[in-house]
Chains A and B, each alone.
Chain A
Amino acid sequence: MTTVLMAVMLVSVLLLAAFGGPWLLRQAAPALATVPRLAATTLAATALIWIAALLALGPVVAWVSRGPAWLPAEAAEVCSRCLAAATPFSESLVSVAIPAVLPLVLPLLGFGVAAAGLWREFSQLRQTRHRLTHQLRESHEATVLGHRVSIMSDDSCFAYSLPRRAGGIVLSRGAVASLSPAELAAVLQHEEAHLRQRHHLLLALLGGVTHYFRRVPLIQAVRDAVPHYLEIAADQSAKRVTGTAVLAGALLKLGTSAGIAGDAHARSAVLHAAGSERVRLLIGAPRPPASTALAVAAGAYTVMLLTAIVSVNTPYLLAVVAGC
């Protein structure tokens, strides 16, 4: 395999994943929903791996770069030696007339962009949680069925969770009044699972690292899907304690009174026209037979991307370790 062929293959794999990935994820959703925690973690990892594979294009292009040397002579000499030591192929017949240092900057730029996204996400989350904590001043803390919760003096029905440090489980007075004790237990178990399994942290990391890559269809599909799988994971935890019918009853009561609205609802309705996987799984709706195979295919694709990254970066790593 030549360097050019490797670059072409990497670009093809990336494009296929970027544009075909959302379809694959939709088809595989019924199977992925049966292992929601694994699905959420793997999908988040897939998004990160895709970005890493994109950045790996830089070192590949650097192998065929024959442009003017921009670095001082000594630094350029070291750089060339490292590139030559890292190249797993013989001399390429094709060359690109750009300085090799340019594509090598791509991974650094990518790390910078991901770090900027993380910084942005966490600073905005800090502000948001500060404001939400301000809202919670109008609430009072109570122990409900063994869980510490904040109860907001509000007759509308809602329940949500913030990270434990930011307030934990929040219920409205209306939700407490309208749910039966068993349904309340289901809601509390669900929210407790979010906290125990650190779902807020996973979403913050995913949201941060992928923020500046969110226009890529695959990344957007993962960002949309992961919260859904985390809800299913929390449902599974609640279902084990309270049973399916009780959890379904609580969802129906709070879902009906919440008056789900807005863009998120419209987008979600388009994606889940036959009902979301969360509810289909809860009520035991049969899943399409092909979805397991497609979930395996999605997993295989992720492994392929991972292999591409490793095969590009390992020679560099070995070259640097060996002192070029």
Chain B
Amino acid sequence: MTGTNAQVPAGRDEVPARLGALESQIMELLWRGEEFTVRELIARLPTEPAYTTIATVLSNLKKKELVCARKEGHATRYFACVAREELTVRRIEHALESSGDREAAMLHFVGTLTDTDLELLRRFLEQRGGSA
């Protein structure tokens, strides 16, 4: 995050944002990794919405801490400050937060592995000739 307006992404203890239709379309564009002004976003959206509509949606996304903004001259450029995968993980984790015992709600395939485990697995597979 380089801009003066850049915000810190939401912490894991906050409710992860759910996206409306237009918000999803905008996030899809921003998740491509580029930065856009409001007008550039309007040009890329299929429905050509009004300037104020997109500005409002971007403002909402900023409040949800999914989008960050930075000034470039007179223009404001917007970019995604939370990766798509991160948002999914946050949603799942948030859904599990109310449970005192996460495992009882969901058994995760790699839930109990440590870094040492991964290293042991790597060495084991190397010895077996990288058969994985």
Contact = CB atoms under 8 A, between A and B. Distances in A.
A204 B132 contact: no
B100 A207 contact: yes
Given A154-B85, A187-B109, A254-B109, A128 B114 contact: no
A282 B117 CA distance: 10
A159 interface: yes
Contacts of A251: 109-110, 113, 117, 121
Interface residues of B: mostly helix, strand, loop or mixed?
Answer: helix
A227 B103 contact: yes
Contacts, number: 168
B120 interface: yes
Contacts of B50: none
A256 B118 contact: yes
B21 interface: no
A238 B109 CA distance: 12
Contacts of B103: 203, 207, 227, 230
Given A183-B132, A260-B110, A276-B112, A124 B124 contact: no
B100 A135 contact: no
A91 B81 CA distance: 76
Contact of A230 (B89, B106, B107): B107
B101 interface: yes
A303 to B, nearest CB: 27
Interface of B: 84-85, 88-89, 91-92, 94-96, 98-122, 124-125, 128, 131-132
In the A-B complex, list the 6 residue pairs whose CB atoms are closest, starting with the nearest. Answer: A249-B132, A156-B85, A207-B101, A131-B95, A203-B104, A283-B124
